[in-house]
Chain A
Amino acid sequence: MRRARLVLAAGALLLGIIYLAATWKYPAGTAKQPGPGFYPLMVAALLLISSLATVWQTKSMGPVAVEWPRGKALWRTAAILLALVAYIVLLPNFGHPAASALTTFISLQALGGLRWPTKIFLSLFLGVASFYLFNNLLGVPLPGRIWFR
């Protein structure tokens, strides 16, 4: 846990430096007339101080192990992330029904416990039903592409 926290705090520190560098470009103005960079400078300072303090605080912590996923657990977590990426990539070109069916299938496959026909049926059903519910019944437009015009 200590190493993971240190990595995160160091990442935050780097982010704070990048944020501060970006803030520098905006006019800070004066206390009488604060500009768009005035408040972000304070936020940048807080981000830098808190990340440095977290590094210092973490260093004095006792070692506590973080259980990172391994083996099957790692595969399941990675598959869920893959399912999410697949939806984001496929949605604009293939539409919601196809993208959501594939996403659902990957997540069902990753978590296991269901038979193939059930997984295929559920994936297709969820893709079409969620499109119909949001697009047609609730009036929230979704990209249907070639499947549903």
Chain B
Amino acid sequence: MDPISGLLYGFSLCAIPINLFAVILGVLVGTLVGVLPGIGPVGAIALLLPVTMKLRPETSLIMLAGIYYGSMYGGSTTSILVNVPGEAASVPTAVDGYQMAKKGRAGAALAVAAVGSFVAGTLGVIGLMLFAPTLAKFALSFGPPEFFAIALLGLVTLSRLSGGPVWQSLLVLSFGLALATIGMDPVSSFPRYTLGINELTQGIELVPVVMGLYGIGEVLMVAEKAGGLPQITKVKFRDLFPNLREWKRAWPAILRGTGVGFIWGLIPGPSPILSAFTSYNLEQRISKHRSEFGHGAIEGVAGPESANNAATEGAMVPMLSLGVPFTPGTAMLLAALMIQGITPGPLLITERPEVFWGVVASLYIGNVALLILNLPLVGLWVSMLRIPQAILVALIIMLTLLGAYTINNSSLDLIVLLVMGVVGYLFRKIDFDVSPMILALVLGPMLESTLRQSLYLNKGDPWIFLQRPISAFLLYALLAILILPPVLKFLKKRSAQT
């Protein structure tokens, strides 16, 4: 199917009322998740996963994808108006956005953020539409060694990018890999680490782990700090128009942010967050108004907001074309497909065109809906912050418990949720990033089966990974990623000494 026919097919699917409802509901929940600090898009997707099991695969993915990219829009609103980033990817927006609000330009900042998000989102979908089928066709020639190399590259790169010492990230990653080995061996069905508990033969469910690490972990942090309500800046509709000078400065930043974000999305790592910070740094370096950064530079809002939205679309390229998630958010979307019995991978686009094109078309509709939702209804979203924290926490706890329990109607999942909640809380306290654990849990089974298949196919010769050009290239790239930074650091240190 060529892109135009595919897109038209996708739009025809989105015209079905249930799918249209899924788009709107997804972006509404996404915006809410972005506005409210706490649960985050990964936790919200996990919460709604049990509900979507009854829906058709495309409807389910359309709704969950809406939460994923919708949260990026919502995050900017509270960053600008109350200096509370609902999402980590909105932290750079808060720096200059809040300063603009303090100077009475909150409306302009909100409008630029929303338009930038819309432009980046729309251009990002075009990129997704063009890149994903090409990459999927190319990936059809991939065998187990290539998929092993991709999964390994994704996991290790994320550990390097998520910040903090390398070994610390690898420790979190190995926790996830170890968790993923619980249950039946994927090749021989041999039960492993089940402790004689029957339910564990099915393995550890992803949903309670994610909800525990993100949802309960965050709830415990909020409970600890429980404070008053933030001071909210009021914005009238007539204020939502940036002046000509502001537009002139914002447009190039929007386009640069889109490019930066989309490229980050294709690379393994928490791309929305990294792209937002990269874009902010880029804007600061090349701006003619460098002194304004940190005091209300509009480029500091336009760039990062466009970047984090483009990154969410870019991150869907490897997820939909290779079946490999590079971010925790896309890992959850992939989990939603797997729950529906769909095997993600390069054949997804040809074998399940309704899923791929349905999602692509929904992204166009969702971006328009988000623009409408985020500008005229800005006051409504901000008023959500007036809901007492105790009620929000109680609601999140209830949804988290229900989400974990209803996956299998099992108390074991609730225990996993509780344990992971405590782990998530402790990791936050000592500044350990939990996202490598999620990716390891998703990619672990793939890593194991492709490793064993590769060795089996080549009669136990591990050189197969370096004999095939693509896997060899990816593994050399991985080696470079691991070796280059310490070598460069060493050289820099030595040159400084001499």
Contacts and interface: CB of A to CB of B under 8 A. Distances in A.
Contacts of A50: 167, 170-171, 173-174
Given A31-B462, A108-B390, A47 B175 contact: yes
B165 A103 contact: no
Interface in B427-483: 429-432, 447-448, 451-452, 455-456, 459-462
A139 B440 CA distance: 32
A51 B171 contact: yes
Nearest to B391: A122
A36 B175 contact: no
Contact of B456 (A4, A34, A76, A96): A34
B131 interface: no
B398 A22 contact: no
B402 to A, nearest CB: 6
A140 B50 contact: yes
A51 B174 CA distance: 9
Contacts of A36: 185, 187-188, 190, 192
Nearest to B399: A130
Q: Which of B171, B173, B461 has the most CB of A within 10 A?
A: B171
A98 interface: no
Contacts of A91: 405, 411, 414
A27 B167 CA distance: 29
Interface residues of A, number: 71
Interface stretch (B85-93, B316-324, B415-423): B415-423
Contacts of A8: 426, 430, 432
Contacts of B491: none
Nearest to A99: B401
Given A8-B426, A12-B175, A40 B192 contact: yes
Interface in A80-104: 80-81, 83-85, 87-88, 91-92, 96, 100, 103-104
Interface of B: 50-51, 54, 165, 167-168, 170-171, 173-175, 177-178, 181, 185, 187-188, 190, 192-193, 216, 219-220, 223-226, 388-391, 393-395, 397-398, 401-402, 405-406, 409, 411, 414-415, 417-418, 421-422, 425-426, 429-432, 447-448, 451-452, 455-456, 459-462
Interface of A: 1, 4-5, 8-9, 12, 15-16, 19, 22, 26-27, 30-40, 43-44, 46-47, 50-51, 53-54, 56-57, 66-69, 73, 76-77, 79-81, 83-85, 87-88, 91-92, 96, 100, 103-104, 107-108, 110-114, 122-123, 126, 130, 134, 138-142
11 contacts: A1-B430, A4-B430, A33-B456, A33-B460, A34-B451, A34-B452, A44-B178, A46-B174, A50-B167, A91-B414, A138-B51
